[in-house]
Amino acid sequence: MAEERFGIKPVGVRMRCELCVAGEMLSKDGIVLTTMPPLYPHCCNQCGHKKNFRERYPTIRWVSDE
């Protein structure tokens, strides 16, 4: 096996509210629900809609430059 290097860059990912569409779902105070898999409570910053997700938003994902 040989090591191979490749370019990557960070991309920000936000979750829009499914109810009002204008708002952004934001993670609530670092709370983690101990379910399997773990869930993270979020609240819309516009309408207050609440929903749990499998990851915290906003988040950073790494994508290939290629």
pLDDT digit string (tens) for the chain, length 66 residues: 899 999 999 999 999 999 999 999 999 888 999 999 999 999 999 999 999 999 999 999 999 987
Number of domains in the chain: 1
Judge whether 8 lies within some domain.
Answer: no
Q: Which one, of 11, 13, 50, 56, lies nearest residue 32 by Cα?
A: 56
| Owning domain of residue 58 | 16-64
pLDDT at 1: 86
Is the Cβ–Cβ distance between 24 and 15 less than 8 Å?
Answer: yes
Judge whether 2 lies within some domain.
Answer: no
Judge whether 38 lies within some domain.
Answer: yes
- How far is residue 55's CA from residue 53's CA, in Å, rounded to a whole number? 5
Is the Cβ–Cβ distance between 12 and 57 less than 8 Å?
Answer: no
For residue 43, CA distances in Å to 5, 15, 32 come to: 39, 10, 14
